[in-house]
Amino acid sequence: MRTSKNNIALGIRFVISFLFLLSAVAKLYPSPYFAISTFEVKQLYPMGFSENFAPYFSRILIGIEFALGLLILQKNFLRSIVIPATILLLTVFTTHLTLVTIQSGGNSGNCGCFGSLLPMTPIEAIAKNVVAMILLVWLIVIMPKSTERHDNFWVLTSTTFAMILMLFMLAPIQPPASNFTVTEPEATTVDTLQPKAADTTAAVMIKDTVKKPDAAVATVKTEPTEPEKKKSGYASYFAGIDNGRKTLCFFVPGCDHCRQAAKELTELKKTNKNFPEISIIFMNEEADLIPDFFKEAGAEYPYKIIEVIPFWKVLGSGKDTPGVKYLWNGNEYKYYFGINENKFNPVDYQKLINKTFAELKK
């Protein structure tokens, strides 16, 4: 009987270790700085963490996940510290996920437990955490007290500090970018499908050609053919973005979905000579893949590169890549984002850009 309990206890420890190590590793996929920064913007910022504190908290949290995943396999202070600490961390995660579920329904979105490697909804994550906590409580019940050691507390501290230090080394904290610093000069980029010329997409202003009588001035009211100009907020990236009709894209160079959207935009542009000029804001993640990105897209377009966290901010809270915006004189008329219900739809976009200003106002 004791042998059977020991085997079950060992099996539970391996299962919990695997879950914690997988969770920690997944938060570093596909690259440590990119993944951790994404975790901060999408998970910590909405919780109220400041931009200055979030980078430290995220690395310490993932370091603790690594440490618990390793410490659950050893015997020092296992029942008295390691298992209770593991249950406490799972309880904190579950409480947060429960609040998210109450607020948003919990049936969509990625909770971030396994990063982008294994997307999981809050409800799925809660179920996973509850099962893990039940296993840990069972582990305390069936594991003999005699198996626990109390002579090497340094094993816990050394492992924990080593894992946290490893995270700070793998993904060093970068100073915040000032005003979303642009790292790619505009002059080095071109649109290979459309020569640089006057903006042919801007609608022609209709002039009043009615003669005014000498005795009285007659006026003819005409409906505007384009929206009034406004600031879109992207002029720091592309000087002419608020003039005429534009297609502004938010892409990650190595993202397959982004490449597909760029390819679809190129195909639309080939069939429409008045297609809104395409400009791209790239995330500075695998920027060396940009030439290959344009090769797959079938054309090159003006682009800028900005750092990871500023990119997510510019993309917008709750948004994901690929992002495609339709702008007219700085006014936003459509924003496609992500790969689900709001994803880019080339058929819908073709219909949208063919609409007159009067049709867009309806």
304 in Cβ contact with 237 (< 8 Å) = yes
pLDDT at 235 over 90: yes
Separation of alpha carbons 30 and 36, rounded Å? 10
DSSP symbol at 326? E
Instruction: Pick the last residue of a domain from 117, 140, 170.
Output: 170
Question: What integer best gives the mean pLDDT of the chain?
Answer: 85
Residues 35 and 84 grouped into a single domain = yes
Is 300 part of any domain?
Answer: yes
Residues 131 and 230 grouped into a single domain = no
pLDDT digit string, tens, across residues 126-183:
999 999 999 999 999 998 887 788 889 999 999 999 999 999 999 999 876 544 444 3
Residues 209 and 165 grouped into a single domain = no
pLDDT at 184 over 70: no
Is 313 part of any domain?
Answer: yes
Is 240 part of any domain?
Answer: yes
- Mean pLDDT on 79-98: 92
pLDDT at 247 over 60: yes
Residues 136 and 281 grouped into a single domain = no
Residues 199 and 313 grouped into a single domain = yes
pLDDT digit string, tens, across residues 273-327:
889 999 999 999 989 999 999 999 999 999 999 999 999 999 998 899 999 999 9
Query: What is residue 198's predicted lDDT score, i.e. its pLDDT?
Result: 44
Residues 110 and 158 grouped into a single domain = yes
Residues 197 and 140 grouped into a single domain = no
Is 23 part of any domain?
Answer: yes
For 13, the domain range is 2-170
303 in Cβ contact with 190 (< 8 Å) = no
Instruction: Pick the last residue of a domain from 142, 170, 198.
Output: 170
In the chain, what percentage of residues exceed pLDDT 90? 61
Is 175 part of any domain?
Answer: no
Closest CA to 194 of 92, 100, 270: 270
Instruction: Pick the last residue of a domain from 145, 170, 195.
Output: 170
Closest CA to 310 of 81, 95, 34, 116: 34
Whether pTM > 0.85 for this model: the answer is no
The count of domains in the chain is: 2
- Mean pLDDT on 15-32: 93
Residues 333 and 232 grouped into a single domain = yes
pLDDT digit string, tens, across residues 249-276:
999 999 999 999 999 999 999 998 889 9
Residues 278 and 135 grouped into a single domain = no
Is 181 part of any domain?
Answer: no
Predicted confidence band of residue 99 (pLDDT cuts 50, 70, 90): confident
Is 179 part of any domain?
Answer: no
pLDDT at 210 over 90: no
SS3 letters across 264-305: HHHHHHHCCCCCCEEEEEEECCCHHHHHHHHHHHCCCCCEEE
80 in Cβ contact with 151 (< 8 Å) = no
Residues 116 and 26 grouped into a single domain = yes
Is 178 part of any domain?
Answer: no
Task: Residue 329: give its domain's CATH number.
Answer: 3.40.30.10
Residues 152 and 241 grouped into a single domain = no
Query: What is residue 257's predicted lDDT score, i.e. its pLDDT?
Result: 94
Written as one string, the DSSP assignment of 241-263 is: TTSSEEEEEEE-TT-HHHHHHHH
Residues 111 and 219 grouped into a single domain = no
Alpha carbon of 171 to those of 21, 28, 32, 177, 307: distances in Å?
A: 17, 9, 6, 16, 14
